[in-house]
Chain A
Amino acid sequence: MSLLVARRLTVATRIGGTIVPVIRGLDIALAPGKVLGLVGESGAGKSMIGRSIAQLLPPGFGVTGGTLEFDGKDLVRMPTNARRSLLGRDIAFIPQEPLSALNPVLTIGDQMAEHFTHLGVRSQPQRLARAVTALEAVHLRDAADLLTRYPHQLSGGMCQRVLIAMAFASRPRLVVADEPTTALDVTVQARIVSLMAELQRRDGTAVLFITHDLRLAGRICDDVAVLYGGAVVEQGPARVVLETPRHPYTRCLQLANPALSGPRRALYALPDQMPGLQALANLHGCHFAPRCPLAGPECRVTPPPLSGNARQVACLHSPLTAGIMSPVTLPRPPTAVAADALLTVRGLAKTYRTGTFFRRRDTHAVVAASFDITPGQFVAVVGESGSGKSTLGRLVMGLERPTAGSILLAGQEVTRSSEAARRHRIRTAQMVFQDPQSALNPRRRVADIVTAALAAAGSDKATRARRAGELLAEMGLAPEIAARTPAQLSGGQRQRVNIARALCILPQLLVADEIVSGLDVSVQAQLLALLQRLRQEHAFAMLFISHDLSVVRHLCDRVLVMYRGQIVEQGATEDVFAYPAHAYTKALLAAA
């Protein structure tokens, strides 16, 4: 007897008069005490399934067919009050962004007390006692003190523990966790995952685990359902599905994911990206066919049904899936020509002063950082949030004024911010920011954005238009993109434009701050391949700031590990990852 059953569940929205499905004919079943992973890239519809359970779909979206039953009761047609009494009590949700999922103006105690009131705990002392017990169950120390705190006074990991405490406080039968660890640091992620597993086993809770991370799903789920374009393409026991994928999409996703151990291999870069809702609705046949390496004309006739028993696959060519391979040759980094360092950083430090005049508090964001980057070398900076890795990048770029130390860039001292240093830096180094959404001016056209550096240097219109065309071609973007604004681009396209802008006047050094995080695996693989190709063509060096160790291992020659503002370890990537010397590096690698 399954606890949660979806039968032919269809969720749709209306776009310009036509009804466009976002979830199409979903069949899933989750048994009590089991963990079911919903895996897929953004736009696959996995979050929509979670929101259907609470019937809190975005405006304009609704269930148009099929049923979604919890414990034999139809969640879709149930009256609002009946559903509300299930929520938080029998069905609990763990969100993606713990810091923003707690109300900033209410204390943790207020919010927990409210939750226990909803659960029917009448007396205040009882509510307090229950709150303390719940917080202790998620291994938070000083629970009583924590209740008086506000969310902004806690770390992301602590907030997520609070939310998990609330979710499991009522011993719910179903927990829906929507990317619960995506916003957290690697080491915290591992602890949150094991905490959830512990509570899940304790209470025999069924968990619907929504994630984009195949590896994570394989580690904690009993079963997985891989989604593409609103439909399940493959489902079955997690280990079986992820070890021997039978659907080309699952296979390609795995090949697109860089590995943390074993031989370094090239990544499989799926072409394009998941089509938009409208485009999907107009597709005949298999939705993955336009990107699929195995697709033939027979795939474009009717959608293949999900077939099989314990292990179901929706593909006409599933026996051929195992034959999909990554390109054999890993792009070789160009061998260093010049031995002289391009960037020499010595004893670099940045201290922020906070607090009042009388009670000063110094925050040491970067402490005595020393390293070199030779021309054409890719050097990674890894560490968790607050470790100072972004500050280090900003110091190198002159966006922050160092408190101590020196920066030597292409033979010229740029530590002090003089006009000469500024000009030299602009010619030599460029930065790519993490979030292209906010880094690109929404009111300017792509052609203007990517050639802004030329405009500042006073180039004429024709030169700029020509350079824009070259840059877009190099980024693998269609020429018509030049006339669009950032809002008209997809996430992957925007990040390419963001990189193109930095490469406009070819720099010798690129400082890239988390430029592939937040992107889908297939898009990430495309970008990593792009960076490797550009490197071979232009031989620029890069300071690559990232929290993702497997990406770093795939892309970078050297790695700097930062912990609390200090570079605790540095060396060749393979050496550091194979034989980590510092305890923190070991912890980081163990958690990843």
Chain B
Amino acid sequence: MILLAALGRRLVTAVPILFVVSMLLFAALRVLPVDPAAMSMPPNATKDEIEAARREMGLDRPLPEQYVLWLGRAARGDFGRSIHHRRDAGKLVAEALPGTIELAMAAMVVASGLGLGGGLLLFMLRGRRMEPVAETATTLMMSVPEFLWALLFIFVFGVALQAMPFTGRLDPGMKLPGITGFLLLDSVLAGRPDILWSAMVHLLLPAVALGLAFAPPIMRVLRASLIDTYHEDYIRQARLRGISEGRILLRHALKNAILPTLTLMGVQFGFLFGGSLLVEVIYSFPGMGNLMVDAVRNADLPIIQVVGLAYCVVVLVINSLVDGLYLVLNPRLRPR
């Protein structure tokens, strides 16, 4: 109930944010020295033909009016046609989005697993002889960017060992079931374990490459907040009650120390969508990153606009979910 109320509050604040972002997107892209009408016409089109196209696209009207028109169409799900792909921009993004969400989620699972596990390990090694070694290892991990991991994995697992596929989302020849666009979900719905397996294998390398890059900050924050938490009176009091160290760590300390870590993970999850771009390009992963790169290269305004909006929506949704989770995990934030 409290959770629903909190999510509702979030939703109310999300609407004006979306408005502002849409305005920014629209204005920024209209200011660019690119003529979408000329771009959409064959190179041998005459001036008059381009003028006609401009009128048809509404480009001759004042900017605010154009914005209202564009917003009105966007509200009905019509984001215009991609100039480059000659297809509906909304549909293109809808096809690409599930892939990226899947990748980002898989990467987040990897990052959280590694980050939380590594954070606990770092914490347990504090003051021991192994601590400097572990510190160096995390610093090394932190200083390798995700695209370097991606290239390294392609070289080791793809080319040298030939153990893993490293392009696309599925083996060549396999057909997308195409129910929701989420391969892991669709393959289960369609009862196709072979597709599920293939999708998972294809997801593994890019997800680990991304996850590895995002794990070290989680480790560090968790370690630091565990150390803070261990100074709290309730930890000492639990010890004085004879509670075992393992139980104190997992039940008493981790439940408190996870809260700052969760905030960081929420922020990171948002970044992952942007961060997946390079990895997607490297693994020819048909997601938002690749779509965006193409769109920018071709000055494909409608696509850039939808991708921008989609990014904004995803970040807002993640924020709301993290806030909700925070409420679940931290009773002090709930009203009495």
Interface residues of A (CB under 8 A from B): 54, 56, 84-89, 92-93, 95, 97, 100-107, 114-115, 118, 150, 152-153, 163, 166, 355
Q: Is the CB of A115 within 8 A of B241?
A: yes
Is residue B236 within 8 Å, beta carbon to beta carbon, of the partner chain?
Answer: yes
The complex places the Cα of A88 from the Cα of B241 at a distance, in Å, of 4
The complex places the Cα of A215 from the Cα of B135 at a distance, in Å, of 52
Q: Which of A92, A97, A106 contacts B233 (CB 8 A)?
A: A97
Q: Is the CB of A105 within 8 A of B255?
A: yes
Q: How far is the CB of A517 from chain B (nearest CB, A)?
A: 19
Q: Is the CB of B240 within 8 A of A153?
A: no
Q: Is the CB of B233 within 8 A of A114?
A: no
Residues on the A chain within 8 Å of B255, using CB: 103, 105-106
Q: Is the CB of A101 within 8 A of B331?
A: no
Q: Is the CB of B240 within 8 A of A103?
A: no
Q: Is the CB of B234 within 8 A of A88?
A: no
- Asked whether A87 and B330 contact (CB < 8 A) given A95-B233, A103-B234, A104-B234, the answer is no
Chain B 113-148 near chain A by CB (<8 Å), digits 1 or 0: 000000000000000000000000000000000000
Q: Which of B239, B242, B252 contacts A89 (CB 8 A)?
A: B242
Residues on the A chain within 8 Å of B233, using CB: 95, 97, 100-101
Q: Is the CB of A150 within 8 A of B237?
A: no
- Asked whether A150 and B331 contact (CB < 8 A) given A101-B234, A103-B256, A105-B255, the answer is yes
Main secondary structure, interface of B, reads helix
Q: How far is the CB of B280 from chain A (nearest CB, A)?
A: 38
Q: Is the CB of A163 within 8 A of B331?
A: no
Residues on the B chain within 8 Å of A103, using CB: 234, 238, 252, 255-256
The complex places the Cα of A103 from the Cα of B250 at a distance, in Å, of 13
The complex places the Cα of A101 from the Cα of B252 at a distance, in Å, of 11
| Most-contacted residue by chain B among A54, A103, A163 (CB, 10 A) | A103
Is residue B244 within 8 Å, beta carbon to beta carbon, of the partner chain?
Answer: yes
Q: Is the CB of A88 within 8 A of B251?
A: no
Q: Is the CB of B239 within 8 A of A56?
A: yes
The complex places the Cα of A390 from the Cα of B68 at a distance, in Å, of 54
Residues on the B chain within 8 Å of A86, using CB: 242
Q: Is the CB of A102 within 8 A of B242?
A: no
Instruction: Report the contact-size class of chain B (Cβ under 8 Å from the partner).
Output: 20 to 34
Q: Is the CB of A87 within 8 A of B331?
A: no
Is residue B56 within 8 Å, beta carbon to beta carbon, of the partner chain?
Answer: no
* CB closest residue in chain B, given A96: B233
Chain B 236-262 near chain A by CB (<8 Å), digits 1 or 0: 111111111001000110011000000
Q: How far is the CB of A167 from chain B (nearest CB, A)?
A: 9
The complex places the Cα of A103 from the Cα of B331 at a distance, in Å, of 11
Q: Which of A85, A101, A107 contacts B237 (CB 8 A)?
A: A101
Q: Which of B237, B243, B244, B336 contacts A102 (CB 8 A)?
A: B237
Q: Is the CB of B241 within 8 A of A105?
A: no
Residues on the A chain within 8 Å of B329, using CB: 105
The 7 closest A-B pairs by CB, nearest first: A87-B242, A88-B241, A88-B242, A93-B240, A100-B233, A101-B237, A150-B331
- Asked whether A104 and B256 contact (CB < 8 A) given A95-B233, A150-B332, the answer is yes
* CB closest residue in chain A, given B335: A355
Residues on the A chain within 8 Å of B239, using CB: 54, 56, 87
Q: Is the CB of A84 within 8 A of B242?
A: yes
Q: How far is the CB of B1 from chain A (nearest CB, A)?
A: 13
Is residue B232 within 8 Å, beta carbon to beta carbon, of the partner chain?
Answer: yes
- Asked whether A102 and B240 contact (CB < 8 A) given A150-B332, A152-B331, the answer is no
Q: Which of A87, A97, A114 contacts B240 (CB 8 A)?
A: A87
* CB closest residue in chain A, given B254: A105
Q: Is the CB of B240 within 8 A of A56?
A: yes
Q: Is the CB of B237 within 8 A of A93?
A: yes
Q: How far is the CB of B309 from chain A (nearest CB, A)?
A: 30
Q: How far is the CB of A152 from chain B (nearest CB, A)?
A: 5
- Asked whether A102 and B234 contact (CB < 8 A) given A114-B251, A115-B241, A118-B241, the answer is yes
The complex places the Cα of A56 from the Cα of B233 at a distance, in Å, of 13
Q: List 27 A-B contacts (CB under 8 A).
A: A54-B240, A56-B240, A84-B242, A84-B244, A85-B242, A88-B243, A89-B242, A92-B241, A93-B240, A95-B236, A95-B240, A100-B234, A101-B234, A102-B237, A103-B255, A104-B256, A104-B331, A104-B332, A105-B329, A105-B330, A106-B251, A106-B252, A114-B243, A114-B247, A114-B251, A118-B243, A166-B241
The complex places the Cα of A115 from the Cα of B251 at a distance, in Å, of 13
Residues on the B chain within 8 Å of A89, using CB: 242
Residues on the A chain within 8 Å of B247, using CB: 114
* CB closest residue in chain A, given B336: A153
The complex places the Cα of A87 from the Cα of B251 at a distance, in Å, of 19
The complex places the Cα of A107 from the Cα of B255 at a distance, in Å, of 12
Q: How far is the CB of B39 from chain A (nearest CB, A)?
A: 49
The complex places the Cα of A103 from the Cα of B332 at a distance, in Å, of 11
Q: How far is the CB of B4 from chain A (nearest CB, A)?
A: 14
Residues on the A chain within 8 Å of B243, using CB: 88, 114, 118
Residues on the A chain within 8 Å of B331, using CB: 104-105, 107, 150, 152
Q: How far is the CB of B51 from chain A (nearest CB, A)?
A: 53
B257-302 contacts to A (CB < 8 Å): none
Q: How far is the CB of B36 from chain A (nearest CB, A)?
A: 45
The complex places the Cα of A97 from the Cα of B234 at a distance, in Å, of 9
The complex places the Cα of A54 from the Cα of B235 at a distance, in Å, of 14
Residues on the B chain within 8 Å of A106, using CB: 251-252, 255
Q: How far is the CB of B253 from chain A (nearest CB, A)?
A: 9
Q: Is the CB of B242 within 8 A of A152?
A: no
Residues on the B chain within 8 Å of A97, using CB: 233
* CB closest residue in chain A, given B232: A100
The complex places the Cα of A104 from the Cα of B335 at a distance, in Å, of 14
Chain B 311-336 near chain A by CB (<8 Å), digits 1 or 0: 00000000000000000011110011
